[in-house]
Structure 1
Amino acid sequence: MLEMKVKAVVASPMGEPVILLVDQEEKKVLPIVVGPLEAHNIALPLQGVNPPRPLTHDLLKSVIENMGGRVEKIVITDIRDNTYYAEIYINLDGKNLVIDSRPSDAIALALRCGAPIFMKTALVEFTYDFADIEHQLGEEP
């Protein structure tokens, strides 16, 4: 598995929101197209914005923590039919739970919990050189 981090949320050339996940060396990037609401939910913690009332991912974090659990990590696991899949790993009273998730929800939760983001090594073939993505955007994200 490769540890990744959210570099930015940007607009694709067609105007769709895209999450740019980069490896720790910022050489490889995995772009994940998401909807506008999902992009907003990921951008908020990146910008250090705390909404006055809890949003869905804030609520999920609160529920997990109030039950004595902790989000250990999230893993982008697969791509099928142009759809990415992810899993959320939660430790609850010494029991390890693995929850199926959309990558956008898993990433939004990980950012709020400070949990690491991983990508299965098999997905490397779907990554791009980060320098190429920067060039396509015309500026650094």
Structure 2
Amino acid sequence: MLPIWIGRAEATALALTLETAEMPRPMTHQLTADLLTAASTRVREVRIIRLVEPTFYAVLLLEGPGGPAEVDARPSDAVTLALVTGAPVMVDGELLDDARAVGWTEWHEYPITGAKLVSEVRRQYDEMAARLDRE
């Protein structure tokens, strides 16, 4: 396990993807995947490559008409895009052996589950839609 801190918006996007939640419009990561597909490019692999405390770094390995490309990305965005596209997520072996990386946070202190987060996002979306309907 590699505990990576992410923001609430990133956690929401990741949870919605994990729960395969149906959204009325494409979320950013789905849009990104659709743009890559339109450009005949695929995400070959996501790699979590290093830790510069407290920040993890990732890259997207892409394959397209112009050949392979490597794109810098935040791990939260990279992992969510990997989930959307079905690409594998790899972690540098040395990083997994690094006690600083593996023990960076106590993940059990944050017990919110993906399903709970998705439920909250849906509730907020429904409330917003109801307010817009009344206006």
TM range (shorter): 0.7 to 0.9
The one-letter amino acid paired with 1:45 is: T
Gaps spanning 5+ residues in structure 2: where? 114-135
Partner of 2:94: 122
User: Comparing both structures, which one devotes a greater share of its residues to strand?
Assistant: 1
Deviant stretches of 4+, over 6 Å: none
2:33 and 2:8 map into 1 onto residues whose CA distance is: 21
Alignment of 1:1-141 (within 5 A): 29-93=1-65, 95-124=67-96, 125=98, 126-127=101-102, 136=108
1:86 and 1:45 map into 2 onto residues whose CA distance is: 19
Gaps spanning 5+ residues in structure 1: where? 1-28
Paired residues, number: 107
Shift of 1:64: 0.3
User: Comparing both structures, which one devotes a greater share of its residues to helix?
Assistant: 2
TM-score, normalised by the number of residues in structure 1: 0.69
Q: Which protein has the larger Cα radius of gyration, Structure 1 or Structure 2? A: 2
Determine what percentage of the aligned residue pairs are the same residue. Answer: 33
TM-score, normalised by the number of residues in structure 2: 0.72
Q: How big is each residue's C-alpha offset from its partner over 1:85-121, in whole Å with a ceiling of 9 and x where there is no partner?
A: 0000110026111000000010110000000000001
